A and B are shown apart, each in its own frame.
Chain A
């Protein structure tokens, strides 16, 4: 198992061409920083894209640990209001 699904939104979803990315590396990245590195190397469409990572519906940092079942999303620059 150890695959992880990542939600995409707005311009980022459009650029990548899907709303959910699946990363199946044989093992879960230990941290958000590792996940981001893996995503950027697997998904060329993310090159040059700016985003933050959210884990379980809250903003995460590179050191945030990941556990199986976590809800992970990439948050492109927001423009609400």
Chain B
């Protein structure tokens, strides 16, 4: 399961997508909208994605997680649209034979997603509104 979603993400369904034949570990990362950023109170975030390329990049990362980081099952779902504080923005599930690989692959996936996948967020805070650019 690799997808963009304009609707709230079913976290359980993402975890279920990596159910496999006898892997000993599954790690789930849930990224949510934080209430404060750079000292400002966040009101909401608007996520925009390059549909088509975002999924292709996430597929490529899932492939690398399998071939280079020991993951067996990989599922990634990222939200688009307006998200309020506390809402789930991204869910990554990884299954692997052992927990070390599952933790490592999941960590690598979220770090690399933030650097590569063409998704952007515009933050509305009490200080104003701006596009965040974390990874040039």
Are these two chains actual partners, yes or no? yes
A58 lies within 8 A of B90 (CB): no
B56 lies within 8 A of A57 (CB): yes
A77 lies within 8 A of B134 (CB): yes
> How many chain-A residues does the 8 Å CB contact rule pick out?
18
Task: State how many angstroms separate the Cβ of B110 from the closest Cβ of chain A.
Answer: 6
| Stretch from B8-16, B17-25, B63-71, B112-120 contacting the other chain | B112-120
Residues of chain A with a CB closer than 8 A to B133's CB: 11, 50, 76-79
| B127 contacts A by Cβ under 8 Å | no
CA distance A11 to B136 in the complex (A): 13
Q: A interface vs B, CB < 8 Å?
A: 7, 9-11, 14, 50, 54, 57-59, 73, 75-81
Q: B interface vs A, CB < 8 Å?
A: 31, 47-50, 52-54, 56, 78, 89-90, 110, 113-122, 130-136
